[in-house]
Chain A
Amino acid sequence: MSRLRLTIKGPAESGGLIAINGSTPMDNIDPRSLYPDYDVLAKRTSLSWNDATRRVIDARLAVPREPRFFSGEQWATLVAVCRRILPQPADRPEVPIAALLDNLLRTDDTQGFRVDPLPYDGPAWKQGLVALEAEARAAYHAAFPALSERVQDALLKEAQAGRLHHPAWAPMTAALFFKHRILTDIPALYYAHPTSWSEIGFGGPAGPRGYVRMGLNRRDPWEAREVGATSQAPARALTRHAR
């Protein structure tokens, strides 16, 4: 695919950041939430949620944890891939990304279109996981989930860079599968989960009650408070009634 040649584009080492004003890459490898005492689910019965929202989030939290769309082997590969693409902290329940994906593909709740030459999402996923497994066996004589995390990462980087060419990918390419499926679906499912909203301090569902304080460094009492924050919520006396 021909990419746009930008006159401005940061170097690859900085993840595309442009060197203006400051662009230090983040090297914190143990990302910690800035909102340790915020739990978006605490608002479940508040005016920020309506019944339709409660229904869909409840269903998401109750997603069955075993595969119904993927085969056992595809599932094992998928679980391992999800852990590398979105590593999660050990001290809290894991967001079941693989289970959410399995459910999404089983119910075909996708965007519907396919980008040539990829197949539709469900078949693309099955084929891509089989191809990744074939690459692992060809290069390391072991199943992908059995590889060390370092080697798994190396293989995934090769896929992203388009350097894997096993015939099992055809008519897709490893790079297209990585871009359109792995790097599109896995992050989207993680950030569809309330655990991630609490982690990043997102307000979460917000209807019928929305927000009142929209300015810079301002927040409503029902928004997340950042550690060492600059933002101000109004004095408690003004918001006694906020639930």
Chain B
Amino acid sequence: MRCHADTDTVDFVIVGTGAGGGTLAARLAEQGFSVVALDAGPFFRPLLDFASDETAQNQLFWTDKRVSSGTNPIKMGGNNSGKAVGGSTVHFAMVSLRFRPEWFKSRSILGYGADWPLDWAEMWHYYSMAEQALAIAGPIHYPWGPKRPRYPYRAHELNAAAKLLARGCEALGYRWSETPLATVSAPRGKSPPCVYRGFCRFGCSTNAKQSALTVWIPRALKAGAEIRDLAMAGRIDVDHQGCATGVHYVREGQWRFQNARNVIVCGYAIETPRLLLNSETACFPDGLANSSGLVGRYLMTQANQAAWGRMEDEVRWYKGPPSLALTEHWNYEDRGKDFFGGYCWMGQGPLPIEWVSVQTSARGLWGPALRTEMMDYNHQIGVKMVGEMLPNEDNRVTLDDDTDQYGLPIPRITYEWSENDKRLINHALNQMTMSLAAIGATRIFPQDDDTNHLAGTARMGFNRETSVVNSDCRSWDIPNLWICDGSVFPTTGGVNPALTIQALALRTADRIKHLAARREL
């Protein structure tokens, strides 16, 4: 690995190496820029370091102190935040979906949320690039949305849970599809094909998964980027002209400062605003890039409710990636809705600890009743939604008085579901329940309280008054400060976000190249 001294003024220092930061590190280094990418987490070697175990793999998650509050506090930790080189993609479930084109203009076309300052057709191009780079395994014809090229790798075999999802959709008259997944269905470089071990959400110990750790980071290293792990950024410095000069970070107990011509923040929807807010100065008393007052605002999570039931058959849902099949019916069908937004639902394969948490949180079971229910593990079936929650400026990240192990103020996360969110969830719960009923599942129950992915808190937009960054992910206030991760989403759509984040990072890297060529960096 090429290494830089802190005193080298590198072209780009990137904070965070997940879906956004990992992709950028690779693309910017490939374009010849000097790059140092910091990550607070360790640089894991999956073949040696990853156990097949739900508990031990807590090592992948962001477990520093945080406070979650509000009417519907969001569950943090392993539910939505990674801390490792590769970020949350190290333990993501690999579902790789494109936005519905209209979502980029949901305000003007669909009447809710906010428009993105981006054109869907251009994003379609970057989605294809991302899918090629990640060797997505998917169907030949994807049933929804405008035409897209066929996926580079063939779709995975369906497990029993996915076949039952398909049966449920067919009974309701909805289309279903094999889920496009970022795990290879045939050998690729150092990745062997997926062996269907089912621990994907706790790290893939075979490297079949095409995460930032296995795809973008090796490309970044090859192109000369330095990946500095266990390096926690605490503050971005700004000079008298209002330009960023580099990043203060702590590594091995020492505070250090990396000089850089540009800083890109890719810490995801909680840590990105926290770093910007923690970097306040006399010139920027409300934190960096925050003249709009919107840093930390419009936090969005996604509805992740489910319906569960029992089959006479043995399902054994622990085998294979958990979400091998899905339906996007209610992302593309607008008729018959009493709410804005969309949702999809997917097959499920919770391992025992996650499954018992469903039984306790959704049904409040304990004692002999709980152990008895758990005996049915291998007969269980379920479908889970990914649903669009609307942006609301009061859902936000602020700084708390308490500090973490580095002495930095910790984030406070405040969240409340809107009436629209609740209507969407109700609609989905009814639909998912019907799909289970239609295949003869018994003992059906809804799980009404779960959420997953995060977005927002540094939204992109058309002007400096109503957004934090422009369409190039460049902050309005500080020309050499960029933000490129899930936090720039103005709306979150009804699909998992990682492919969109990576497509966006690919576009940003191209824009940076273009701007550099015109000496506009």
Same complex origin of A and B: yes
Which A residues lie at the B interface, using CB under 8 A? 1-10, 15-18, 20-26, 28-34, 48-53, 55-57, 60, 84-87, 109-116, 120, 153, 156, 160, 179, 183-184, 187-188, 190-192, 196-197, 199-212, 214-219, 223-224, 226, 229-231
On whether the beta carbons of B369 and A115 are closer than 8 Å, the reply is no
Question: Known contacts A113-B67, A191-B352, A217-B313; is A18 also within 8 Å of B444 by CB?
Answer: yes
Chain B's closest residue to A192 (CB) is B55
On whether the beta carbons of B375 and A31 are closer than 8 Å, the reply is yes
> Residue A206 contacts which of B163, B198, B445 (CB distance < 8 angstroms)?
B198
Question: Known contacts A112-B64, A116-B73, A230-B314; is A183 also within 8 Å of B364 by CB?
Answer: yes
Cβ of B410 to closest chain A Cβ, rounded Å: 9
> Residue A207 contacts which of B52, B318, B417 (CB distance < 8 angstroms)?
B52
On whether the beta carbons of A85 and B367 are closer than 8 Å, the reply is yes
Q: How far is the CA of A167 from the CA of B78 in the complex (A)?
A: 33
On whether the beta carbons of A214 and B196 are closer than 8 Å, the reply is yes
On whether the beta carbons of B374 and A200 are closer than 8 Å, the reply is yes
Question: Known contacts A16-B363, A20-B437, A191-B356; is A4 also within 8 Å of B417 by CB?
Answer: yes
Question: Known contacts A4-B426, A57-B53, A86-B370; is A20 also within 8 Å of B77 by CB?
Answer: no
Question: Known contacts A8-B433, A56-B53, A210-B197; is A85 also within 8 Å of B366 by CB?
Answer: yes
On whether the beta carbons of A114 and B68 are closer than 8 Å, the reply is yes
Q: How far is the CA of A21 from the CA of B435 in the complex (A)?
A: 12
On whether the beta carbons of B353 and A188 are closer than 8 Å, the reply is yes
On whether the beta carbons of A187 and B360 are closer than 8 Å, the reply is yes
On whether the beta carbons of A31 and B368 are closer than 8 Å, the reply is yes
Chain B's closest residue to A9 (CB) is B446
Q: What are 10 sample pairs from A and B whose C-beta atoms fall under 8 A apart?
A: A6-B426, A6-B446, A21-B437, A50-B50, A52-B51, A111-B58, A112-B62, A196-B352, A200-B377, A216-B313
Q: How far is the CA of A151 from the CA of B163 in the complex (A)?
A: 46
On whether the beta carbons of A112 and B65 are closer than 8 Å, the reply is yes
**B170 interface residue, CB < 8 Å from A?**
no
Question: Known contacts A52-B48, A191-B374, A210-B195; is A87 also within 8 Å of B367 by CB?
Answer: yes
The binding surface of chain A is classed by DSSP as loop
> Residue B357 contacts which of A9, A187, A196, A215 (CB distance < 8 angstroms)?
A187
Q: How far is the CA of A2 from the CA of B430 in the complex (A)?
A: 20
On whether the beta carbons of A34 and B375 are closer than 8 Å, the reply is yes
Q: How far is the CA of A211 from the CA of B52 in the complex (A)?
A: 13
> B residues 118-142 with Cβ under 8 Å of A?
none
On whether the beta carbons of A29 and B368 are closer than 8 Å, the reply is yes
- Which residues of chain B are near A208, meaning CB under 8 Å? 195, 205-206
On whether the beta carbons of A84 and B367 are closer than 8 Å, the reply is yes
Which of A5, A49, A203 has the most B CB atoms < 10 Å from its CB?
A: A203
Cβ of B42 to closest chain A Cβ, rounded Å: 14
Chain B's closest residue to A10 (CB) is B445
> Residue B443 contacts which of A22, A111, A160, A197 (CB distance < 8 angstroms)?
A22
- Which residues of chain A are near B55, meaning CB under 8 Å? 56, 60, 188, 192
> B residues 419-442 with Cβ under 8 Å of A?
422, 425-426, 429-430, 433, 437, 440-442
Chain A's closest residue to B79 (CB) is A111
Question: Known contacts A4-B448, A26-B372, A192-B353; is A112 also within 8 Å of B377 by CB?
Answer: no
- Which residues of chain B are near A202, meaning CB under 8 Å? 318, 351-352, 377-378
On whether the beta carbons of B378 and A201 are closer than 8 Å, the reply is yes
> B residues 440-465 with Cβ under 8 Å of A?
440-446, 448-449
**Besides A20-B433, A200-B377, A208-B205, 18 other A-B contacts (C-beta < 8 A):** A4-B417, A16-B445, A21-B309, A21-B437, A26-B369, A28-B368, A34-B375, A52-B51, A52-B205, A112-B76, A160-B364, A179-B361, A184-B357, A187-B359, A191-B352, A191-B353, A210-B196, A226-B314
> B residues 162-208 with Cβ under 8 Å of A?
163-164, 194-199, 205-206
- Which residues of chain B are near A196, meaning CB under 8 Å? 352, 374
- Which residues of chain B are near A3, meaning CB under 8 Å? 448-449
On whether the beta carbons of A17 and B205 are closer than 8 Å, the reply is no
Q: How far is the CA of A86 from the CA of B62 in the complex (A)?
A: 29
On whether the beta carbons of B68 and A113 are closer than 8 Å, the reply is yes
